[in-house]
Amino acid sequence: MLPDHVRQYPVGRHRSGKNSGGQSLGFKTLITPSRDAQKRHLQRTGTLIRRHRGTSQEALIKALGPVITGWSRYYAHVAAKAVFVKMYHRVHHQLRRWAYWRHHKKGYRWRMHRYWQRKDGGIVFGKTRTLPRHPETPITRHAKVAGTRSPYDGDWAYWGLRLRKYAGLSPQEQQLLRVQRGTCGWCGLYFTAHDRMEVHHRDRDRTNYRFLNLMLLHRHCHDTVHRTHDKGHQVEKLHDRKRSRAVLQRQGAGQSAS
């Protein structure tokens, strides 16, 4: 089953799609999450919520948050804004049933005050750590490649900056790529679609994820940085292990002979 629902809607000439020749087609194509995809998502969230009936709210948010975020980002490039609002209300209803199962002798207002809070003009699940909401994921349209462009035309600046709109990058990598203007923070060359990227910490504290402490590098540049700064890091050569093992055998033979 396809995860997307594709349909063409008849519209007027001002909102109609156009072909390659610029002629109006008389319809507009919209891609939305299919009903089967919505059903599978709600089944998964419902299963997780039932499994965490006896656990704390923090544990439930930790398990449910990545599911909501991942599903929303997958459909962030189609016309899914109305579906996101629908999924938010359906999951909110599942969470209300979770709270009722835990405190069925308490009132509705008591349960809402215990597990929910008002934030940014809406209601969020959680107190210290909040559950992500589907509508919080922004809809970003896919940018078409110009007809005269090619990955082999040598325009590294165009393709390097275009990577920030690539769906395979995390939001953190997209932001770093935009700040660095599509270039590597170590060698200064532009990223291409085939390059492997690594998020580098400027200081030695690997737990410091502040944005000013992060830098996006090529994977080979990232290895070079650590070989340069980590003086205790030694690169083992191909035959070092065999050579050292032979020496140990000779020493053992010499000791046994003595």
Mean pLDDT across the stretch 27-55? 93
C-alpha–C-alpha distance, residues 39 and 90, integer Å: 11
Pull the structure tokens for residue 108. 């509705």
The answer to whether 190 and 183 have CB atoms below 8 angstroms apart is: yes
Mean pLDDT across the stretch 40-65? 96
Which range, 3-12, 125-134, 231-240, is most confident? 125-134
Residue 256 above 80 pLDDT? no
Instruction: Give the per-residue pLDDT at 56.
Output: 95
Q: Which residues pair with 190 in a beta bridge?
A: 183
Instruction: Classify residue 138 as exposed, middle or buried by CB count within 10 Å of its CB (0-12, 13-18, 19+).
Output: exposed
196 versus 43: the higher-pLDDT residue is 43
Instruction: Give the per-residue pLDDT at 203.
Output: 81
Q: Which residues contact 217 (CB under 8 A, 6 or more apart)?
A: 184, 185, 186, 197, 198, 199, 200, 225
146 versus 255: the higher-pLDDT residue is 146
Q: pLDDT band for position 254 (50/70/90)?
A: very low
Residue 74 above 50 pLDDT? yes
222 versus 7: the higher-pLDDT residue is 222
CA dihedral 135, 2, 167, 88 (to 10 degrees): 10
Interval 148-178: pLDDT, tens:
888 777 676 677 667 666 667 788 888 888 8
Backbone angles phi, psi at 179, to 5 degrees: -70, -40
Q: Of all residues in the chain, what percent carry a pLDDT higher than 90?
A: 42
Instruction: Give the per-residue pLDDT at 229.
Output: 64
The answer to whether 182 and 160 have CB atoms below 8 angstroms apart is: yes
Which range, 13-17, 116-120, 132-136, is most confident? 132-136
Instruction: Give the per-residue pLDDT at 68.
Output: 97
Residue 232 above 70 pLDDT? no
Whether the model pTM is above 0.75: no
DSSP, residue by residue, 222-253: HHHHHHHH-TT--PPPTTHHHHHHHHHHHHHH
C-alpha–C-alpha distance, residues 58 and 64, integer Å: 10
Instruction: Give the per-residue pLDDT at 4.
Output: 79
Instruction: Give the per-residue pLDDT at 165.
Output: 63
Instruction: Give the per-residue pLDDT at 5.
Output: 83
Of residues 160, 165, 161, 171, the one with CA closest to residue 195:
160
Instruction: Give the per-residue pLDDT at 257.
Output: 46
Instruction: Give the per-residue pLDDT at 23.
Output: 80
Instruction: Classify residue 80 as exposed, middle or buried by CB count within 10 Å of its CB (0-12, 13-18, 19+).
Output: buried
